[in-house]
Structure 1
Amino acid sequence: MSAESLHRSATALLTEWAPAERGERSLREAMLAFLGSAPRGCLREHAPGHVTASALVWSHDGREVLLTLHPRVGRWIQLGGHCEESDETVADAALREAVEESGILDLTLEPGLSGAQAHPITCSLGQPTRHLDLLFRITAPPGAVPVRSSESTDLRWWPVDALPEGADIPLP
């Protein structure tokens, strides 16, 4: 568990990911180049930007996605957050964040990368930076009832075909 294992996992995920769209392929290459120049680029301390772990939490039947109304961002987004040195991989960080932010314990992480996004943001560093989100698909068990954490203004299931206005959620 270290910055090195997080970096290796992020690099492997992006190398193995084969996005269909040109824009996603370009983002993939940019993220790989970033990681090539930033050995600690998976940690929040890397102020110019850092890899973050995002969790697209789906209902057991795939009809709904769990979104949080983020207090700092001010809109509905997927769950997730910063990698920590105690995380072995970025996927581990995504699952940890999903459990912490949803209160749902028996989540199932699907293998591989679901997608990627890049966002300019002023996060907990207090200065403008970039979040380079690696997205993972996670499935909740039947009957899962989310519990809002202190990191959220609101938390709820949204039908995939009726997401809230302004949500920037990359769904397949």
Structure 2
Amino acid sequence: MFDTDQFVSDCLDAVRADRSHRGVLEVMQRALADPAAVRAAFATPQAGVLAPLFRSDELTVLNVIWKPAMAVPPHNHNMWAVIGVYDGREDNIFWKRLPDGRVTAAGAQSLSAGDVVPLGRDIIHSVHNPVARLSAAIHVYGGDFFADGRSEWDAELLIEHAYDLSVARARFG
């Protein structure tokens, strides 16, 4: 059985023992070994949502519900992240910054229920839910996800601009 409070506590213990993502990755892998238990711990989602389960300067834990066919343009976090999908799919495209500030695709990874992936501090990625239903994941960040200072790239022109949290939240609504 997955317990959200215990998961958050285990993540906090892990990050306090080692500021890198390694301990949180192990916590997430244990939790996502049974994605059905994680899914059962949350109410059945009815809509897209970016729901904080925990937030501090050292750690943010989010329950992320992706709307069908939802896409988020390239963006950075300026902190490490650990992503664990517990329902549906999450397709990530990884980008590399060009000298002119734009980005170009550099790789991709598709995550299904039970998959866990760490993202380094400097990763730029975009996310797409390729299925015709809601998809769900837990995202853990090594800092305050909602703090200023991040960037996003225009989906069409791939030009960098400041990340706008209100625009990001509206995508989920």
TM class, shorter-chain normalised?
under 0.3
| TM-score, L = length of structure 2 | 0.27
TM-score (norm 1): 0.27
Q: Name the one with the larger strand percent.
A: 2
